Chain A
Amino acid sequence: MIEVRGGAFKYGERTVFASIDLDIFAGEVLTILGPNGCGKSTLLRCIGGALRLAEGTVRMGNDDLSTLDPGARARRIGFLFQDHTPTFPFTVLDVTVMGRTPHMSIFGMPSPRDTALAEEALDTVGIRHLKNRPYTELSGGERQLVLLSRTLAQQPDVILLDEPTSHLDMRNQVLCLKTIGALAALGRPMIMTTHDPNHAFLYPGRVALMKPDGSLLTGPASDVITDATLSMIYGTDIGVFSVARRAGPGEFKFCSPWQ
């Protein structure tokens, strides 16, 4: 659905990444993995159109995404930023309805239909009971789910998530990843960044590992995430381990630095 060809980005003289090719297919969760500051958020922003590639193209169907105006782009690409607390206590419903903005004119106001779509999105994510709560008083995990609802109300073709689990405890990480996986299974692909390789094992999908030289190693999680690749990109000795699943057949993998 999305094709990145020959993508390169520079901050001034510093090359963040170069000659990147990446495809995203319908219904998948693609995890972009790499250490802090490696440029995975920059890549995500380039795909989402928040930043412009120095070289190369991002195409979606027949369109070059960099040529779309902001409204048209927002109707096709949803973007979840890292968790932050806004200044004003908007209600959860107000925040969710904001997802309908790209479907309105600049002077437009949400219609009853927009509100209905927002409530539907809250149902899909399972947080309708939070509807009238102030967004600022929710936990980090709940806020992340509200933003996910907002992005669903936006009805984009693809959803990009920047470190959706970064400030969450383990329970909320699982809840958030589960919801992301379930939503992707409905057909809308999700691309997310994370600095924790274990997230890719929790909900297996494809992984794009960002190497220190700014190139990508792409493939299924169990192929790409190995002792060697992790130790290389994180610059410390890391092991990947397998244990029998507590429930059901097969093995469960996880990784941890050696001590």
Chain B
Amino acid sequence: MRRSVVVAMIAAPLALLYASLFVGRFTVAPAEVARILWSNVYPIAHDWPASVETIVMQIRLPRAVLAMFVGAGLAASGSAYQGMFRNPLVSPDILGVTAASAFGAAVALLLSRNALELQVVAFTFGLAGVFFTYLLARVYRATPVLMLVLSGVIVAAFFSALLSGAKYVADPESKLPAITYWLLGSLNAASTRSLAMALPPIIAGSAGLMFLRWQLNVLAMGDDEARSLGVRTEALKAGVIVCTTLITAASVSVCGIVGWVGLVIPHLGRMLVGPDHRALLPMSFCIGATYLLFIDDVARTATVGEIPLGILTALIGAPFFAYLLRKTRGTWQ
């Protein structure tokens, strides 16, 4: 990768993060944001109202950081899965993690549990869903890619049906809207506590994928070839599945279903740096962070209320990618 690309790739999400702290219905001057941030590192005189500091440090910063990591993790997961499944149409929810997490969340909402309990339940269901898929796909001590995809379809269909069941029995006055809005995805409940819940699995999963990114190149050539080059394909696939599942389950449990990012950002990454996962994974990670942070900034500032993320990721993303698709005539180059 050229050095200028690397600098831009890292600078873009950080610049947008800074901007996200002073943009909003309550405008804070950029210089004041800088002083507030600095005061948390180095003791300086506080010449701003405590409410401003709360907005910047307790509300906007955790939310922006969470948006970045969810976007980054989903985009990296999508890149890894597309390489592993050797299919550019694959997204991180292919093994049923999203459907299972969503059902878990719906159950928590039905039982009126608090936000923390909801996250734990949704995360656990996500992991369990993928575990079922993996067991179902296992034949003769191997998990062929086709078996994984088909098993994922089955598990996702099963949990989607359960989710519909949960919606059907939910009280249409209070519980049903709660479930529906939650499923549309939002970061407005982001807090330092949800950050503490979601960040460790997302960071661990992303780090794991980064370590495995050379082996992903070899796996993308096919299982047989990878094995002949000394790759332990079954262990590698299991490792990649664990990493992406940690990321996706944590993301869904903390902000609902955010589609589209994991499917399309990898294509954008490939346009910029090619299919080599050594460059593609870090690139997707950074673009994903920038993209979701941008979308979330729009979600909380465009209208008086909040626009659900799941609507905006596609509403803004689809035309943009339609443009790229037409421009490159489907080659993404």
Contacts and interface: CB of A to CB of B under 8 A. Distances in A.
Given A70-B231, A81-B228, A87-B86, A98 B221 contact: yes
Contacts of B225: 79, 81
Nearest to B213: A109
A104 B215 CA distance: 10
A99 B229 contact: yes
B245 to A, nearest CB: 19
Interface residues of A, number: 32
B200 interface: no
Given A70-B232, A107-B211, A101 B274 contact: no
B218 interface: yes
Contacts of B212: 106-107
A91 B274 CA distance: 9
Interface string B194-226: 000000000000000001101101101110110
A253 interface: no
Interface in A53-105: 70-75, 77-79, 81, 84, 86-91, 94-95, 98-99, 101-102, 104
Contacts of A106: 212, 215, 232, 236
Interface residues of B, number: 28
Contacts of B236: 106
A74 B228 contact: yes
A99 B225 CA distance: 10
A73 B222 CA distance: 18
B229 A74 contact: yes
Contacts of A72: 230
Interface string A235-249: 000000000000000
A109 B229 contact: no
Contacts of B317: none
Given A89-B274, A106-B236, 16 more contacts: A50-B227, A74-B229, A79-B228, A81-B225, A87-B86, A87-B87, A88-B88, A90-B217, A90-B220, A91-B274, A95-B221, A98-B229, A101-B214, A101-B229, A101-B230, A109-B214
Interface of A: 48, 50, 70-75, 77-79, 81, 84, 86-91, 94-95, 98-99, 101-102, 104, 106-110, 154
